[in-house]
């Protein structure tokens, strides 16, 4: 790893270069992608860079009705696309057939014009959808909208609408379902991301093979707190879209996504800042829901609990994979750190402690400095009120390397260990490692995980001048 040395006053600052993250993006076989979808990414001119993909389109072409679910930011300043997508999902009772996304401009805090522009994007994308005679006429748009980029600026809406329009039959159409099409769509999500975040997998339910694929983006302004749209408690940003060819009822799709997001996207942090645009969308078009030539009913928690639990588990594992990619691509990040808190009275307690450790500036700067400063971890832990008293004489802290080698306990049952500094340096020099905090509640209690990264000088540079 190369190092740059800068002089500042009388001290010397050593700056580690940010490691390349391109290896996290690899080609995916076409057979892994779900059927019944067409996607692309195109250049509209929202981004200044010539040819940069900045508008993505995703269409469900299945003859079956497509179930849709979402989790949106709980930020009070919800962006226009969040407001519009919530409305569309509500009016269509959990159904949607398309997604349109733009990067380069968040369309957030843009007033009435922002709402009008988001509607225009949705309706222009509706025109790309193939007619579906088996579906009842929609009462509103069938397209969900996402935007990401700088807050407080209006979209160059005419450019975006023209780019969407280019995907109608003609020489400029690039819609497809091969790896190139999925990759183009994933690239259209990107802002300060250094690589497109795209994953796919296969899974089986009741002897039928289904596929799931998805993409997300995010590198800064990452500390999501998302909830379902109106169905329950409710610059850069986190966006994600997941597609499956399984058939799931809208209510069960939403329940599965809400559960999965809490354990994945709501469990990551780059800088502790919640965006105005955070959105995760999930489409299930049922295109592969067939057995022995018979179309299967939609999976529903109430009628087939076992099948629903399998889907929920697959979705949760998949969203965790996507969420981790966001942290790995954290702005200026040199470390990927798993924070595990166990022995807590409740899952909520464990999750809150893990979140506090993951967002502590003192912890994150120590990680960058490769300093096993467990006192900072302990201070963050003790600052969180729990549902029952914390017994400090039962708390333990351990640094766990990702290479399977010997862990390093630094605190056991409230008593500090004599730390092997050389071993600590070995572990913290790794790109991946774990901070394990045991609150000492025994085995019959809850565990939660958070994924975070370090704070580097590069993070300050990027966010000191977004235009860079």
Q: What is the pLDDT of residues 40-94, one digit of tens each?
A: 999 999 998 999 999 999 999 999 999 999 999 888 899 999 999 999 999 999 9
Residue predicted with more confidence, 146 or 233: 146
Sheet holding 268-269, edge to edge: 268-269, 446-453, 336-344, 432-438, 396-401, 408-412, 415-416
More confident residue, 56 or 278: 56
Q: Please give the average per-residue pLDDT across 215-241, as a whole number.
A: 66
Residue 306 tokens, joined: 């076992």
Pick 22-328's CATH classification: 2.30.130.30, 3.30.70.2740, 2.40.50.180, 3.60.70.12: 3.60.70.12
Residue of 237, 258, 340, 398 marked catalytic: 237
End-to-end CA distance of the chain: 23
What pLDDT score was predicted for residue 7? 35
* Mean pLDDT score, 413-425: 94
Query: Above 50 in pLDDT, residue 10?
Result: no
CATH architecture of the domain covering 336-464: Roll (3.10)
CB atoms under 10 Å from CB of 441, counted, come to: 22
Q: Can you tell me the distance from the alpha carbon of 104 to that of 149, in angstroms, rounded to the nearest whole number?
A: 4
Q: How far lies 155's CA from each of 5, 46, 50, 282, 310, in Å?
A: 41, 8, 17, 25, 41
Q: What is the pLDDT of residue 200?
A: 98
Give the tens place of pLDDT for each residue, 113-157.
999 999 999 999 999 998 864 555 566 899 999 999 889 999 999
CA distances from 441 to 86, 358, 394, 416 (A): 40, 21, 8, 19
Domain boundaries, the chain: 22-328, 336-464
Annotated catalytic, 148?
no
Q: How far apart are CA 332 and CA 375, in angstroms?
A: 24
Proportion of the chain above pLDDT 90, given as a percent? 74
- pTM, entire model: 0.90
């Amino acid at each position: 790893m190369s190092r740059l040395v800068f002089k500042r006053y009388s001290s010397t600052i050593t700056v580690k270069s940010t490691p390349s993250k391109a290896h996290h993006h690899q080609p995916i076989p076409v057979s892994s992608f779900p059927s019944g979808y067409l996607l692309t990414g195109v250049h509209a001119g929202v981004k200044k860079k010539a040819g940069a993909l900045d508008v993505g389109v995703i269409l469900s072409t299945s003859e079956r009705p497509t179930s849709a679910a979402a989790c949106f930011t709980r930020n009070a300043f919800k962006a226009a696309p969040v407001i519009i997508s919530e409305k569309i999902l509500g009016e269509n009772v959990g159904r949607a057939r398309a997604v349109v996304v733009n990067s380069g401009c968040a369309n957030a805090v843009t007033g009435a014009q922002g709402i009008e522009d988001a509607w225009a994007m949705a309706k222009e994308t509706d025109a790309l959808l193939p007619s579906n005679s088996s579906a009842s006429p929609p009462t509103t748009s069938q397209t969900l909208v996402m935007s990401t980029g700088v807050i407080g600026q209006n979209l160059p809406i005419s450019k975006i609408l023209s780019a969407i329009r280019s995907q109608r039959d003609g020489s400029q159409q690039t819609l497809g379902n091969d790896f190139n099409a999925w990759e183009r769509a994933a690239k259209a999500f990107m802002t300060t991301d250094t690589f497109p975040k795209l994953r796919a997998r296969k899974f089986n339910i009741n002897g039928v093979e289904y596929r799931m694929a998805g993409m997300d983006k995010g590198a800064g302004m990452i500390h999501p707190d998302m909830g379902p749209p109106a169905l329950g408690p409710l610059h850069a940003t986190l966006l994600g879209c997941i597609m499956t060819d399984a058939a799931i009822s809208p209510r069960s799709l939403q329940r599965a996504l809400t559960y999965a997001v809490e354990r994945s996207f709501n469990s990551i942090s780059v800088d502790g800042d919640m965006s105005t645009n955070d959105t995760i969308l999930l489409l299930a078009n049922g295109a592969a829901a067939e057995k022995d030539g018979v179309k299967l009913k939609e999976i529903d928690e109430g009628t087939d609990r076992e099948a629903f639990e399998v889907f929920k588990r697959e979705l949760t594992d998949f969203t965790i994979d996507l969420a981790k990619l966001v942290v790995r691509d954290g702005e200026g990040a040199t470390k990927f750190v798993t924070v595990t808190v166990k022995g807590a009275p409740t899952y909520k307690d464990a999750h809150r402690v893990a979140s506090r450790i993951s967002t502590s500036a003192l912890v994150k700067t120590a990680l960058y400095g490769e300093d096993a400063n467990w006192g900072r971890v302990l201070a963050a832990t003790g600052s969180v009120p729990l549902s029952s008293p914390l017994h400090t004489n039962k708390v333990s802290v351990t640094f766990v390397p990702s290479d399977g080698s010997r862990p390093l306990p630094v605190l056991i049952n409230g008593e500090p260990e004599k730390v092997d500094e050389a071993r600590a340096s070995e572990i913290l020099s790794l790109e991946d490692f774990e901070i394990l905090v045991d609150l000492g509640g025994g085995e019959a209690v809850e565990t939660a995980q958070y994924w975070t990264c370090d704070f580097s000088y590069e993070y300050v540079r990027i966010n000191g001048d977004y235009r860079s």
